Amino acid sequence: MPNTTGPLAVALLYDGLCTFEFGIVAEVFGLSRPEMGEAWYRFASCAIEEGPLRAHGGFSLSPDHGIELLDRADLIVVPGWKGADAAVPDDLCRRLRAAHGRGARLASICSGAFVLAAAGLLDGGTATTHWRYAEALRARYPAVAVDHASLYRAHGRVFTSAGSAAGLDLLIEIVRQDYGPEAANTVARRLVMPAHRTGGQAQFLERPVPARRNSEVAPLLDRMRADLAAPWPLARMAGECRMSLRTFVRRFTEATGSPPAEWLAAERVEEAKRLLTAGRRSIDEIAAAVGLGGADTLRLQFRKRVGISPGEYRTRFGRVGAA
C-alpha cells in the first residue's frame, strides 16, 4: 500500500476480471499523487476467491491480499462482475454487508451492481448499471429501482455507475466529495477528461446511423445538414426525393435507422452542441441557427437527447473564453 494516511480504497479481484474497470480504479485511487499530500487515498486490491485468477486480455493475476482486506476498507469498489448470471459468493456478500454496517462506502462499475444487489445493499434504493444489463438487474432484484439512463446514482453510502467510462465519472465524483473540486479537477486533468459530469447525464447518445452510400435519400441528408435552419416538413422531404409520403418514410428509416423527424431533431441537437462549444452565440441564436425556433425548444430537445441543459453543456465542454 502507498505511504499515505487517507481512506483505504480496495478493489475486488476475481477470475475473469474486467480489466479496464479495474484499471480505472487503480488509476484514480492507486496512482502516486504527491501533490495531494499525505492524506490521499491508500489503495490495494484483494482476491475474493482462490486462484489462479485470469483477467480479460490474456494474463494472470497474483494478488497481494485476500478477501479479509475488505474488513478494513473505507471504500470498496466492484470493478464490473463476471456476468449478469454469475453467482456472487455468500462470503463476499456477508463481508460487504458488514463493511457497509461499520460505515464503509461501496461503489460498483457497470455489471458490478449485481454484486451490490446480491448483498442486499441496493434494496429500497435506486441504482444504475450499463443499459445492456438494466432489464436483467430489474428482473432479478425487484426491490431495486433501476435507472437505465443515468451515468451514476447514489443510495446512501452505496454508489452505482453505468458502463466503463461512467465509472470514471463516479470515481471523480467520489474524489470531489472527499477532497473538493480542485482535487477532482486535478485528477481529471491527468486523465484528460472532463472534471465532472453529473450523474443524471444520459449514458449514451445515439447519433443517427449514417445513410447507406447507395441510398436514394443520401443526397437529401446532405442538403438538410447544410441548411438545418430551414423548415423541413415531411412533404418537402418526400417531394425532393420524388416519392410518396409512405414510400419516403419507409426508405428513409431503412437508410438511417430513424424516422425523418427523429433523425432531423438529432442532427439539430448535434449541430447545437458544436455551436455551443465553438463560440459566443446566445442560446436563442443557436436555436434559430439549427432550426429549433427558440431557446425553450432547444432546451427541451437538448435535455431529452443529451440529459443536461445547453448551458451546462457549454460550461463543461466549451472552449476557454466562450460565453
**From its phi and psi, is residue 162 left (phi > 0), alpha (psi between -120 and 50) or beta?**
beta
Give a yes or no: residue 207 inside a domain.
no
Q: Are residues 86 and 179 in the same domain?
A: yes
Q: Are residues 60 and 168 in the same domain?
A: yes
Give a yes or no: residue 198 inside a domain.
no
Total domains in the chain come to: 2
Q: State the residue range of the domain holding 262.
A: 218-317
Q: Are residues 174 and 225 in the same domain?
A: no
Per-residue pLDDT tens, the chain, 323 aa: give them: 667 899 999 999 999 999 999 999 999 999 999 999 999 999 999 999 998 899 999 999 999 999 999 999 999 999 999 999 999 999 999 999 999 999 999 999 999 999 999 999 999 999 999 989 999 999 999 999 998 878 889 999 999 999 878 899 899 989 988 998 788 888 888 887 755 555 555 544 445 545 555 568 888 998 999 999 999 999 999 999 999 999 999 999 888 888 999 999 989 998 998 898 887 899 999 999 999 999 999 999 998 888 888 998 888 766 544 43
- β strands within the chain, DSSP E: 8-13, 42-47, 53-55, 59-61, 75-79, 105-109, 126-128, 145-147, 152-155, 158-161
DSSP 26: I
Got the DSSP string for 259-281?
Answer: -HHHHHHHHHHHHHHHHHHHS--
The domain that holds 309 is classified in CATH as 1.10.10.60
Q: What are phi and psi of 2, to 5 degrees?
A: -65, 160
Q: Are residues 117 and 234 in the same domain?
A: no
- Give the C-alpha separation, 107 to 112, whole Å: 8
161 contact partners, CB below 8 Å, separation of at least 6? 107, 108, 109, 110, 128, 151, 152, 153, 167, 169, 170
Give a yes or no: residue 169 inside a domain.
yes
Q: Are residues 165 and 242 in the same domain?
A: no
One-letter amino acid of 29: F
Cis preceding linkage at 233, omega within 30: no
